[in-house]
Structure 1
Amino acid sequence: MPGTARAAAPWASECRPALPPAAAELQQRIWQGLAADQLWDVHCHLLGSGDSGSGCYLHPSLTSGFDVIERVRRRVILNAACVDPDGASLDEAYVRRLRELADGFPAGARWLLFAFEQAHDAAGAAQREHTTVHVPDRHAAAVAAALPQRFGWVASIHPYRPDANVALQRARREGAVAVKWLPSSMNIDPRELRSLAFAEAAAALGLPLIVHCGEEKAVPGARRDDLVNPLHVRALLERGARVIVAHCASLGHAADLDRRSAPEVPAFDLFARLMDERAFEGRLFGDISAVFQRNRDPAVWRGLLERCQGGWQGRLLHGSDYPLPGLKWLTSLPRLRAAGLLAEADEAPLADLREHNPLLFDLALKRCLRLGGTRLGDEVFATRRHFAAPA
């Protein structure tokens, strides 16, 4: 249960409640130079089964005894959020734990909670059978409205829906500050005419698009892996959209569509190419959620920090990808230390902090990372300025 310590498998979150006394010094370092009221975590997931009437949905394969891999996926993700998969209400337990973790931060810090759209076919009809996870806009809006000092929300609207523009207008009125797409899971081609029209409408409303690029592991959905190429967002940018590329496209490879032979290259390299196009300065950004997980190439870690010397600092945004920071095996502190990015003295305090508050751990880790004299600057964490006030 949330807030209860438990012995578990080595990969499992301990879910310890209070912070250890040894965390005090680390806490001071976290907040040095950073105003809490400017810290908005721009990548925070909601999950639910719909047991509270939220409208949330988990694909039956995540609970079926016949699909072992998907069932394990569900238990692992819920463990990261310290939610008992067999408890009375998954919806309520998930939000309760998130609130508990938020209480470990100074007043003013906020999290942008993601709605998550269903997969849709080419005609714009929802495909529940190809939807791994669904979190309706109304649930994200309701959770945020119940504790606005801690939470804002991000809509998720499929551009192929016949009512996409109506839903976009409604989301803006109800306080959404951005729109989230995961193209491979939702079956969204960012280059498709309906996607481009939606991007123009979102830009007119001041809403950035948070678009997942690079390989997707956690939410397979429609399994359209061809749709997460970073170069696809160029079409959105050319229509005037502001785009935040989730995870800085830091995982996997994609076809280099700028070359006739279209060779497979690291997706991060394609993202970096777009970042270097001067026409997109001020409209193309990257969130750093999940970038420093163990399944990323250390060359990506170093490449991102090196580019902080060359003007990326103001275009990178802090995000946690919660609940994934609760999976302690997913971020390897020894591997980061071996890559020369983490001081040995920071490893033990960070590991201890992770057992108590994975959100604080995620922030602290990123504040501790160094490549020579370069670190992620304070502006990476002062993300509030990137989002317009709700109309």
Structure 2
Amino acid sequence: MKIKVVSPHPQQAETLADLVRQSDSGLDVVSASGAPADLPLVVNGSRPALLVIEGVDLAGLEAIERLALLHPDVDTLVISDDASPAFLLQAMRSGVREVLPAPINAQALQAAVRRTVRKRAAPAQARLGQVLAFVASKGGSGATFLATSLASCLAARSDLQVAVLDLNLQFGDAALFLSDARPVSNVAEVARNIARLDAELLRSAMLPVRDNLMVLPAPDDLAHAFEVKASHVGAIIKQARSIFDFVVIDVGRSMDALTLQALDLADRIFPVVQLTLPHIRDAKRLRDLFRSLGYPASKIHWLVNRHEKSGEITVEALESTLGATVFKAIPNHYGAVAGAVNQGVPIDRLARHSPVTKALQDIARHLAPPPAAAPKERWLGLFGGR
């Protein structure tokens, strides 16, 4: 694999090249001196598979972006002393694979090079994750809360990788239900870079909630929501399911081409309804839409939210009206739910013993049954062993 290391200082360029060579003896590494703005001259037709560029600022990113448009097959690692969110976001837009802080740490540089080498030599075995789409039968039904909370319950299993995609593009706030951290990107930003979409770009655009749970937020600016097309949504979902075990989508309520694309790609659709007449009326409309789209009954899993056993309308009455079975009734536990929403902490972490948490954990176990214990573990369990 051919790698070119570029620095404004010739001696530093060769020092960095030596570090890169130590990461893999099979690499063809050369150094060059020059400013990032001179990249077309520095590359000079050599077409390396990887560029490692030191001393990059915002102006340098513009040159990298121009080079990426000409040579999209060339990966770029940047070394910079600018670690601001604005710089990192612009780096992602410019096609940079990874940004490393200056002064460079040898181990960090070599690890980044090895990651790129592995990616180009043998792509990781793709997953075929399950896509779960949550749709509200009516505004305020709690679909976003249930989608994000179920994702958290699934991620409680450390062997599962879980993603949340907020496709309620105009008014989505799924990220707020999971974290108080500020996102660096969103669905619209990924859509703008759809030609370069791969696993690394998607992960870099997502907000990490914990090691195995990430969320791709909706755009903050309402105007940016209109830039996202159905083809973008399809590409993002397909990429997400190739790297995550579960992709949980909050689709909002607008039944447009984007929403239908998400519903078409979903393995399971969870319409969320409350036991009031306005919700049930809209639930019937959703049912009719699903039937007109040819979705099989096995794809639709009705959820009743804020269920009160003493309510005037029963689950059985809803089932009779819809001609379908309710998959799960989520109990009403206002205090715990309000606390989780207000603090931006998933309910399974804030109120572990809430009946809402237990209901969501039941759904998570249904979707991802825990692995069976080995025979030795079962025998030890009989005697209280460990």
Q: What's the TM-score, normalizing by structure 1?
A: 0.34
Say which structure, 1 or 2, has more relative contact order (CA 8 Å, 6+ apart).
1
Q: What's the TM-score, normalizing by structure 2?
A: 0.35
Who wins on radius of gyration, i.e. which is larger?
2
Q: 1 or 2, which has the higher strand percentage?
A: 2
Q: 1 or 2, which has the higher helix percentage?
A: 2
